[in-house]
């Protein structure tokens, strides 16, 4: 078979796609809460390289720059009645730990692409762009408008996604659905479950932080009094640690267990299958299974920062503890603050709210969800698509303001070790897994209904 101009052999186009991811992983787009510490030249370079790697996309799609380096593309479809938004972010977290292959090398070794951002989230970004580029080369017109929203400061809760939402609102765009990072084709998702689970986040926990603060007189360490600021703060922390909020199993988790049932360990299958009826039992089992499954059942409190006096021989005039709170769907920021107040039960402990985010609304499992399920079934026939509650925060939470259906899913096979490498060391993505991801985005766009 001879290939027409614009067509490439599959092997060539696969190599091309991998080379693009390598090139973009090599550019260290590390974000920082302090804008002064951001290497803006790296971000400039990233956008130039992206334009070089995806010339057709850049030529044919309308581009709006958002924030410093955020991108919002519109690909006009046959209809703009039910637009969709595909999201990713181009920034990464700093490198830590000792890596088998340098974090910004983008090396391909034994069928694996190594580097910071391969999973979070340049893998998705490049797979989306590659899917669009190939469809454009084949002159495919999507049935609906497709928007691509690429943030530049997701890892530091920056304003890029907020501004993209503002821009869409200004233009009167009400997305049919929004798809962002979050889930995956997860193997070893649950002990004893053999099949990979294609987890699609329907909601995410709300990240809220408070500071517990106790003031006192301070003074010389040779003449301490009882129940000074540090002791009072310590008592408050212990009280909070001893009294967690009530656990429960929300509906996406119930559905996750129901779907895992046929693949679960034999003795647990009836429990999984009847998760809806056995919710209290399931909740207790998750809590007993350790901190990770436990976090699926309730709002969590982690005391992260602590401060007192700066000197060994000085009594603290102020003692402070930062508490990072992940709010479970069903609880609200106000519920959480009431809980903290009542269990600390000490009006000398001030509670300062540092950031407040409610959990995201639960997206419905209707036609858009079914489209995701069907395309997962085509590309990953061994996987079980399922809803779940995401534990971490994504930029997509801002899109819940303009869209009812916000889903968190990256179409990549990930082992437990790979999931643990996110924000840690040795982040890597299989070449085949990446190419499946490209194919999945292509299929998703091609399957958009008229």
Q: What is the CA radius of gyration of the chain?
A: 24
Are 431 and 60 spatial neighbours (Cβ–Cβ below 8 Å)? no
79: left (phi over 0), alpha (psi -120 to 50) or beta: beta
Give the C-alpha separation, 148 to 138, whole Å: 19
Give the C-alpha separation, 180 to 157, whole Å: 15
Q: With binding defined as CB under 5 A, does residue 395 bind Zn ion?
A: no
Q: Which is nearer to Zn ion, 120 or 204 (CB)?
A: 120
Q: Which is nearer to Zn ion, 117 or 196 (CB)?
A: 117
How many residues contact Zn ion, by CB under 5 A? 3
Q: Which is nearer to Zn ion, 272 or 440 (CB)?
A: 440
Residues 6+ apart with CB under 8 A from 265: 191, 192, 193
Give the C-alpha separation, 54 to 132, whole Å: 9
Task: Return the residues of window 207-246 that contact Zn ion according to CB under 5 A.
Answer: none
Tell me how far, at minimum, the Cβ of 434 lies from Zn ion, in Å.
16
Tell me how far, at minimum, the Cβ of 350 lies from Zn ion, in Å.
34
Distances 402 to 11, 83, 168, 399, 413 between C-alpha atoms, Å:
40, 12, 8, 6, 30
Give the C-alpha separation, 271 to 284, whole Å: 12
Q: Which is nearer to Zn ion, 120 or 427 (CB)?
A: 120
Tell me how far, at minimum, the Cβ of 93 lies from Zn ion, in Å.
8
Q: Choose which of 47, 87, 121, 199 interacts with Zn ion (CB under 5 A).
A: 121
Q: Among the candidate windows 20-28, 116-124, 217-225, 279-287, which touches Zn ion by CB under 5 A?
A: 116-124
Residues 6+ apart with CB under 8 A from 429: 21, 112, 113, 118, 119, 123, 412, 418
Tell me how far, at minimum, the Cβ of 121 lies from Zn ion, in Å.
4
Residues 6+ apart with CB under 8 A from 322: 209, 210, 211, 303, 304, 305, 306, 354
Q: Among the candidate windows 174-182, 198-206, 245-253, 343-351, which touches Zn ion by CB under 5 A?
A: 174-182
Q: Among the candidate windows 20-28, 71-79, 114-122, 192-200, which touches Zn ion by CB under 5 A?
A: 114-122
Q: Among the candidate windows 129-137, 175-183, 288-296, 363-371, which touches Zn ion by CB under 5 A?
A: 175-183
Residues 6+ apart with CB under 8 A from 199: 183, 184, 186, 189, 256, 386, 387, 388, 409
Tell me how far, at minimum, the Cβ of 83 lies from Zn ion, in Å.
23
Name residue 30's beta-bridge partners.
Answer: 92
Q: Among the candidate windows 41-49, 179-187, 217-225, 250-258, which touches Zn ion by CB under 5 A?
A: 179-187
Residues 6+ apart with CB under 8 A from 170: none
Give the C-alpha separation, 209 to 43, whole Å: 29
Tell me how far, at minimum, the Cβ of 149 lies from Zn ion, in Å.
13
Q: With binding defined as CB under 5 A, does residue 204 bind Zn ion?
A: no
Active site residue 255: no
Of the listed 121, 154, 155, 331, which one is catalytic? 154
Q: With binding defined as CB under 5 A, does residue 120 bind Zn ion?
A: yes
Q: Which is nearer to Zn ion, 121 or 358 (CB)?
A: 121
Q: Which is nearer to Zn ion, 121 or 145 (CB)?
A: 121
Tell me how far, at minimum, the Cβ of 262 lies from Zn ion, in Å.
31
**Tokens found for residue 426:** 């040795």
- Which residue do the tokens 């924030």 mark? 67
Of the listed 91, 181, 331, 358, which one is catalytic? 91
SS3 assignment, position 121 = coil
Active site residue 446: no
Name residue 92's beta-bridge partners.
Answer: 30
Q: Which is nearer to Zn ion, 144 or 418 (CB)?
A: 418
Looking at 345-430, list the stretches that DSSP marks H as alpha helix, in order from N- to C-terminal side. Answer: 367-379, 416-421
Tell me how far, at minimum, the Cβ of 119 lies from Zn ion, in Å.
8
Q: Which is nearer to Zn ion, 396 or 400 (CB)?
A: 396
Q: Among the candidate windows 118-126, 189-197, 304-312, 381-389, which touches Zn ion by CB under 5 A?
A: 118-126
Task: Return the residues of window 252-271 that contact Zn ion according to CB under 5 A.
Answer: none
- Which residue do the tokens 């303001």 mark? 401
Give the C-alpha separation, 359 to 446, whole Å: 32
By annotation, the residues acting in catalysis are 91, 154
User: What residue ranges bind Zn ion (CB under 5 A)?
Assistant: 120-121, 181
């Amino acid at each position: 078979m001879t290939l027409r101009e614009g067509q490439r052999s599959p092997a060539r186009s696969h190599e091309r796609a991998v080379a693009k991811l390598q090139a973009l992983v090599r550019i260290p787009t590390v974000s920082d809460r302090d804008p002064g510490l951001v290497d803006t030249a790296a971000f400039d370079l990233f956008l130039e390289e992206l334009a070089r790697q995806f010339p057709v996309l850049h030529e044919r799609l309308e581009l709006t720059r958002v924030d410093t380096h955020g991108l919002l593309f519109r690909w006009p479809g046959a209809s703009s009645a039910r637009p969709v938004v595909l999201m990713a972010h181009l920034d990464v977290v700093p490198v830590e730990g000792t890596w088998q292959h340098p974090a910004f090398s983008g090396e391909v070794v034994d069928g694996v692409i190594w580097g910071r951002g391969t999973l979070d989230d340049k893998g998705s970004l490049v797979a989306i762009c590659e899917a669009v580029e190939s469809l454009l080369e084949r002159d495919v017109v999507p049935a609906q408008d497709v928007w691509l929203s690429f943030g530049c400061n997701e890892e530091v809760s920056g304003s890029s996604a907020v501004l993209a939402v503002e821009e869409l609102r200004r233009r009167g765009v009400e997305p049919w659905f929004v798809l962002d990072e979050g889930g995956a084709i997860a193997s070893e998702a649950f002990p004893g479950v053999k099949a990979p689970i294609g987890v699609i986040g329907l909601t995410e926990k709300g990240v809220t932080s408070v500071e517990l603060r106790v003031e006192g007189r301070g003074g010389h360490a040779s003449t301490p009094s009882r129940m000074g600021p540090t002791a009072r703060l310590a008592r408050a922390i212990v009280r909070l640690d001893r009294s967690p909020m009530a656990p429960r199993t929300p509906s996406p988790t119930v559905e996750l267990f129901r779907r895992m049932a046929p693949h679960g360990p034999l003795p647990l299958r009836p429990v999984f299958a009847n998760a809806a009826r056995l919710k209290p039992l399931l909740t207790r089992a998750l809590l007993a299974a350790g901190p990770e499954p436990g976090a699926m059942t309730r709002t969590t409190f982690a005391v992260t920062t602590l401060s007192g006096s700066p000197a060994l021989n000085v009594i603290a005039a102020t003692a402070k503890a930062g508490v990072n709170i992940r709010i479970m769907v069903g609880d609200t920021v106000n519920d959480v603050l009431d809980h903290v107040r009542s269990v600390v039960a000490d009006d000398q402990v001030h509670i300062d709210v540092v950031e407040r985010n409610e959990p995201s609304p639960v997206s419905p499992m209707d036609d858009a969800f079914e489209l995701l399920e069907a395309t997962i079934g085509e590309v990953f026939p061994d996987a079980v698509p399922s809803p779940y509650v995401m534990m971490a925060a994504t930029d997509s939470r801002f899109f819940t303001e303009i869209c009812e259906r916000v889903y968190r899913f990256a179409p990549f096979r990930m082992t437990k070790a790979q999931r643990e490498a996110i924000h840690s060391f040795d982040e890597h993505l299989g070449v085949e897994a990446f190419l499946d991801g490209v194919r999945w985005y292509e299929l998703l766009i091609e399957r958009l209904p008229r």
